[in-house]
């Protein structure tokens, strides 16, 4: 733990297990920084043989924008559900805020998503952040995560 209260973790840590996703949709491979319940920084290597490069685009492969959005959403879900007082719950993307994609991410780039929990209301969590590829910003925006499945139903009936 650093002097700022940040925890540094690697891909083997149980935080990634907070995600309900499995391969190939589990995009976060490593959590490199966490402030439980507030912030997370997650990484993924965009390998040339990743499934999303098939057809996007032949001869000029680019990480699809929706993959960058999903990487930010998954990292945000880890940030939101990592606090000591937070019970494990399933989250889903409920909406997107305005996203911008100023540059393209290519194969072999290290993708890093920085996700900040910007607000909570009931079962909704607002995530804001950015994704970089080898340190260059390739996406910025936000998502709203909502409780899904049984945990959402229990909260609604409350």
Active site residues: 56
Compute the CA torsion angle 27, 112, 100, 94 (nearest 10 deg).
40
Classify 91 as helix, strand or coil.
strand
Strands 124-133 and 136-147: antiparallel
- Which DSSP letter does residue 17 get? G
Q: Burial of 123 by CB count in 10 Å (0-12 exposed, 13-18 middle, 19+ buried)?
A: middle
d(CA 116, CA 105): 21
All residues at 6 or more sequence positions from 37 whose CB lies less than 8 Å from its CB, including other chains: 79, 80, 82, 83, 84, 85, 86, 117
């Amino acid at each position: 733990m650093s002097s700022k209260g940040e925890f540094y973790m690697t891909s083997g840590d149980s935080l990634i297990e907070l995600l309900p996703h499995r391969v190939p949709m589990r995009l976060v491979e490593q959590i490199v920084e966490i402030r439980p319940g507030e912030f997370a920084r997650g990484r993924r290597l965009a390998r040339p043989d990743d499934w999303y490069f098939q057809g996007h685009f032949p001869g000029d492969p680019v990480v699809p924008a929706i993959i960058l959005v999903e990487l930010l959403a998954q990292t945000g879900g880890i940030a939101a559900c990592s606090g000591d007082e937070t019970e494990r719950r399933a989250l889903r993307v409920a909406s997107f805020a305005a996203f911008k994609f100023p540059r393209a991410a290519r194969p072999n780039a290290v993708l890093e998503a920085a996700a900040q929990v910007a607000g909570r209301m009931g079962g909704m969590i607002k995530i804001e952040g950015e994704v970089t590829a080898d340190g260059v910003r390739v996406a910025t925006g936000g998502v709203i995560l909502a409780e899904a499945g049984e945990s959402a139903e229990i909260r609604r009936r409350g």
